[in-house]
Amino acid sequence: MGGASGVAIELTMKNLVLRSTALAVVLAAALIAPGARADASRITPPHPNWTGVWVRIGSPSDPDVDQSKSPDPPSPTDESDWPPLTPEYLKKYRQITQALEKGERLNDPTSNCLPSGFPWMMNMPYPMEILQTPGQVTVIAEWMSQVRRIYIGAKHAENPDPTYFGDAVGHWEGDVLVTDTIGLKSDTNLNDSGLMHGQHTRVVERWSQTKSGVLEDQLTVIDPDMLTKPWVRTLKYKLEPSFHMMEYVCENNKDAAPVVAHKP
Amino acid sequence: MRSKYACRILIAAVVAVGATVFAAAPTKAEAWPRTDEKLWPLGALEKKDLAKPRPKPPFDLTGTWTVRVDPKDGGAMGFLPLPKLKPAAQALYDEGLRVNAQGKAFRDDTGACWPFGMPKWWNRVWPIQFMQYPTAIVAIQGLENSVRWIYLDGRGHANPDLIEQTYNGDSVGRWEGNTLVVDTSDLQPKRHWVMQGIPVSEKFHIVEKIRMAKDHKSFTVEMIMTDPENWEGEWRTTKTMEAVKGEDPVEGHCLPDLNEHILATDPAHNER
């Protein structure tokens, strides 16, 4: 029984591998460069260790916030807090936000269970886990099980294929972790109101911890297609040692017809 | 005289230490208890939990590993040898082979981007990056960034009234000599398959025994899977993981909108 089944499986599996059940992968499987960039021999001098589970302050997961008393979010058409958009992107974003205010939903790939990607993932509603190992900082966002890796002391890959989480390298400036991310897919949004970005987006972060223990991520978005000047935002997190990271699976929409994520 | 007493003292000390060591190590895989959430307030990466003194583990999985694709153990598509399937499961499995022979996929939820879960988590062809701490192992499968947390800080399984069923399950582990024994329960049965045609039920349970090779260039994962609704007894299979050097993990996502011409995402060719 086991032997015959094994042969049948092997033959059948070959057909399946050749014909059918391969998954569509965003990237080519080519190696990035000889030598893994997360080189354990690059053990840097003592720096802050932020390994642990963190929650964005004010997010739905913040246990110190009574969500029932949270103020309503600003209207999506309130331009007072908008980034400095170029005329082209300003026109597009106005169209999107006006549609949102009417109750329409445009340009949200996450509705189809696609990753939000970086940097939107850092504005996370659920906890994140930071894992610091020699040569690498790994950030796991519980929201849609998103992972980004920051290679410490490394250089960018040459012409990286665009990915949801980009090609991220970092270095320490004292107790500040400075990261630089390029190679981001252009069909992701920067926030939950459909803010699009261009093909040459670059994000520089400065991570630091205040005396009160709050972890701050100052993100500077640089995008010559989208922005007239760099756009700076700061997100804040607090350590929640008792939180357990949970598996997150986006499944509810998988059997639904795709949400039309057309671009205006 | 002095040397004879010193020798006896030394022997007694060695015996005392040995008794302590062997008493601490479980000699068999006992059933894992449940942990009341209130008794376990610390997260595994909390500094106080990490700082507790613990014996040095026999090996460190930190690094990137990829499955050795060997048709003898089912390769990237299966887990061999098969157990004796219960009649309903056997019928479903046979139906899958019949459908495959017609050139179609059979209830291929993995191909349609549903989570592959355990144990398929081991034999996707994307590398897995492990980060081992004294209190937990965090392992990220390159495909879909599927994360497993294996808790090593002595906790039992989570309170079933509080825990959600998940595709990768609730995993706790401990060292037994040179073997890492991991117990995984509370697995989500919805659209969850061990391999084509063999589903899992709510009673699905996995014990993994991980053993590192002497040269630390590979390790084996012996899986002991039970599911009394779908097969009889234990389903034992072993996969080998090989160290990956000189590569960084790459993103791998299942994107349905790019899956044109792939049978699993075409309703006409993914028979239900």
- Bigger pLDDT: A18 vs A39: A39
CA-based nearest distance B7→chain A, Å: 44
B212 backbone dihedrals φ, ψ, rounded to 5°: -90, 140
Of B110, B115, B145, the CB nearest to A147: B145
Interacting residues of B186 by C-beta distance below 8 A, sequence separation 6+: B157, B158, B160, B163, B164, B165, B166, B169, B170
Of A26, A164, A247, the CB nearest to B168: A247
Each residue of B203-232: pLDDT tens digit?
999 999 999 999 999 999 999 999 999 999
How far CA A88 is from CA of A78, A85, A264, B133, in Å, comes to: 18, 8, 11, 49
Nearest to A153 by CA among A177, A171, A176: A171
At residue B23, does pLDDT exceed 50? no
Choose the weakest-confidence range: A187-201, A222-236, B253-267. B253-267
Residues A130/A50, Cβ–Cβ less than 8 Å: yes
Report the residue of chain A nearest B37, measured CA to CA: A242
Single pTM value for the model: 0.83
CA-based nearest distance B123→chain A, Å: 13
pLDDT value at position A76? 81
Q: Which residues of B touch A254 (CB under 8 A)?
A: 112-114, 256
Residues A79/A146, Cβ–Cβ less than 8 Å: no
Q: What is the ipTM of this complex?
A: 0.82
pLDDT value at position B94? 96
Q: In whole numbers, what is the pLDDT of chain B averaged over residues?
A: 85
In a mutational test of the A interface, the residue from B45, B110, B259 whose CB has the highest number of chain A CBs within 10 Å is: B45
Work out the angle between the directed axes of helices B87-101 and A2-19 (0-180°, nearest 10): 40
Q: Is the dihedral of CA A11, A14, A15, A21 positive or negative?
A: positive
* Strands B136-141 and B146-151, bridge-based pairing: antiparallel
Report the residue of chain B nearest A21, measured CA to CA: B111
A260 backbone dihedrals φ, ψ, rounded to 5°: -70, 110
Report the residue of chain A nearest B235, measured CA to CA: A2
- Angstrom distance (rounded) from CA B77 to CA B94: 16
Of A12, A25, A53, the CB nearest to B253: A25
- Angstrom distance (rounded) from CA A27 to CA A163: 7
Q: Which residues of A touch B262 (CB under 8 A)?
A: 20-24
Each residue of A92-148: pLDDT tens digit?
999 989 888 888 876 677 877 889 999 999 998 899 999 998 899 999 999 989 999
Q: Exposed, middle or buried by CB within 10 Å (0-12, 13-18, 19+), for A171?
A: middle
Q: Which residues of B touch A1 (CB under 8 A)?
A: 82, 84
- Do residue B111 and residue A23 have CB atoms under 8 angstroms apart? yes
Each residue of A69-96: pLDDT tens digit?
777 777 888 898 899 999 999 999 999 8
Report the residue of chain B nearest A28, measured CA to CA: B250
- Region B12-22: mean pLDDT is 44
pLDDT value at position A255? 58
Overall residue count recorded for chain A in this entry: 264
Report the residue of chain B nearest A138, measured CA to CA: B131
Give residue A145's identity as a one-letter amino acid code.
S
Q: Which residues of A touch B111 (CB under 8 A)?
A: 20-23
Q: Which residues of B touch A241 (CB under 8 A)?
A: 42-43, 45-48
Of B42, B131, B144, the CB nearest to A242: B42
- What single string gives the DSSP state of each residue in A43-55? -PSP-----EEEE
